Amino acid sequence: MIKRLTIFIFIFLFTTPMSTIFAEGEINTENKELETQDYKAINSPASNSSIVDNIEPVSIERISTAIENKGQELYNLLQSFSTPLFVVGLGSALFILFLGIFFKKLRTAGIVAIVITFICYLTILYAPEIKNLFINEIENFKDSI
């Protein structure tokens, strides 16, 4: 029974990504913004000076702000996926725990999976508070030395 279930899961997982999704409608290739300039015009000295004039100077503050913004966006994305991830993880852990009724070795694995699921979920939700706690403790330790 377990062997058949395992084979079914592997077949399902390997064939699912092979299905193709096609978009409906026509592709509009008449976009004027996508047209490139002439190669000779790009290499002319007049065009190079205008390109250089438009480049903003790079500063560490600007880069660090951009990195912090991207980090916050990634964290918000991770937080939005944390609840479905928690539900799937908890469901899998409870299924393993249910199988522990029949197989004694799976009882411990089910309980450990539940604990790991809760720890991961809480870590994702409270990551900024955990980070601030560590930073404050390090700063307090530096000040005490």
One DSSP character per residue, 70-88 reads HHHHHHHHHHHHHHHHHHH
Asked if the structure places residue 7 within a domain, the reply is no
Calculate the alpha carbon distances from 93 to 51, 69, 96, 112 in Å.
57, 35, 5, 8
> Predicted confidence band at 26 (pLDDT cuts at 50, 70, 90)?
low
Asked if the structure places residue 103 within a domain, the reply is yes
88-107 tens-digit pLDDT: 998 999 989 888 888 888 88
Give the number of domains in the chain. Answer: 1
Task: Reply yes or no on whether the pLDDT at 59 is more than 80.
Answer: yes
Could you list the residue range(s) of the whole structural domain that residue 93 is in? Answer: 78-145
Q: Compute the Cα dihedral for 7, 8, 13, 19 and give only its sign.
A: positive
**59 phi, psi to nearest 5 deg:** -130, 155
Asked if the structure places residue 129 within a domain, the reply is yes
Task: Reply yes or no on whether the pLDDT at 7 is more than 90.
Answer: no
Residues listed for the chain:
145
Asked if the structure places residue 86 within a domain, the reply is yes
Task: Reply yes or no on whether the pLDDT at 116 is more than 60.
Answer: yes
Q: Would you say 118 and 82 are in contact if contact means Cβ atoms under 8 Å apart?
A: no
Task: Reply yes or no on whether the pLDDT at 18 is more than 90.
Answer: no
Asked if the structure places residue 30 within a domain, the reply is no
* This prediction's pTM: 0.51
Task: Reply yes or no on whether the pLDDT at 52 is more than 70.
Answer: no
Asked if the structure places residue 41 within a domain, the reply is no
Asked if the structure places residue 3 within a domain, the reply is no
What mean pLDDT is predicted for residues 133-137? 90
Least confident of 45-49, 109-113, 119-123, 131-135: 45-49
Give the SS3 label for residue 59.
coil
Percent pLDDT > 90 in the chain is: 10
Asked if the structure places residue 114 within a domain, the reply is yes
